[in-house]
Structure formats: structure tokens, C-alpha cells
Amino acid sequence: MKIIGNGFEVDNYPELSVTFKRIWADNGDECSRQYAGTGALKADYTRFGKRTFSGAWNDCINAFTRYFRNNFADGYRQDAINLFLGNFRIDPNNLPATFETTVLNFDYHGGAIVGAIFAAAMIILCVLVAENMTATIFWLVIFMALMLFIFINGEEFVNKPRLKMD
């Protein structure tokens, strides 16, 4: 088609360059949101041509968000993708009589996570305002026990796809 000549460079046209980089970064953000659940990493470099502190901070937040979502909240997304792509087909003759409880189910896994968060908060509170070390040591032992439980049973805490493919 030869609409653009061989010697054409976007950077020679500042307004076009800014618009092109913005559109390119926005497209990357949307593709990343669909796949990973967060905006694209290093988008500041795409937009401005250099790394910025706010961009690095945003990448840090996105990385932690991706880690959490991919390990603890992504099973349903993989199920949806498998259904959408036709990788899993529902057999109407073999439907379950009842459905398993979902995210709202508060079993010992949720209790361990909430307990560990509460114990960590109590440790901080005891260090800041407690008069004796007994309470701090008590909450530290509780926190360590819960973290050990979570570490040992880590596979059970991960959110996995529920649709089994052959």
C-alpha cells in the first residue's frame, strides 16, 4: 500500500508521537487487563520514553495484585476462558446435583488467613503500645503457627479451575 514512506519516523512529528504512544500504551493496558487483571507493566516507559518513580510504584502494586489474583482468585477466570474457547464442553446428562460453595464459603482456610492478619495487627499494636512483652510474644507465636499452617497447606489455599478437562 505504501501509505507511509520508508524514511518516515513518528518521532519527527511530536503531536503524532505523543498520540501514538498514548494509544499504544492504552492498548497494552487493555490487553493486559484482559489477560492478567491489571494494567501493563512499564507503561510509563511506553508513554514517556523513560522510567518514573510513579510508574515503578504502579508496577509494584500491579505485580502484587497479579500475584494475589493468579494464586487466590483466578480459577473462575480460567474456567470462563475454557468455556468461551470451547476447551470444556458441558454434558447436560451429567450435571452435578448441587454446586460447591464459592468465594463466600468461610472455612478453616479463611479463618487461618483472617487469624494471621489479625495476629499481625495485634503484634504491631503490642509493639507500639504494650507495657510488657508477654502479649507481643503470645501474638507472635499465634502468627507464626498460622503462617506455618498456611505454608504447609499452601496447595489448598490456591484457587484452581473447577472444570476438569480430559
Break the chain into its structural domains and give their ranges.
Answer: 10-93, 106-155
The answer on pLDDT for 73 being more than 80 is no
Res. 104 pLDDT band, cuts 50 70 90: very low
- For 44-81, what is the HEC assignment? HHHHHCCCCHHHHHHHHHHHHHHHHHHHHCCHHHHHHH
- pLDDT tens readout for residues 26-37: 999 999 988 888
Entry pTM: 0.57
The letter for the amino acid at 146 is L
Dist. CA 44–CA 61, nearest whole Å: 14
pLDDT the model gives residue 103: 46
Q: Which three cell numbers stand for residue 144?
A: 507464626
- pLDDT tens readout for residues 81-90: 888 888 887 7
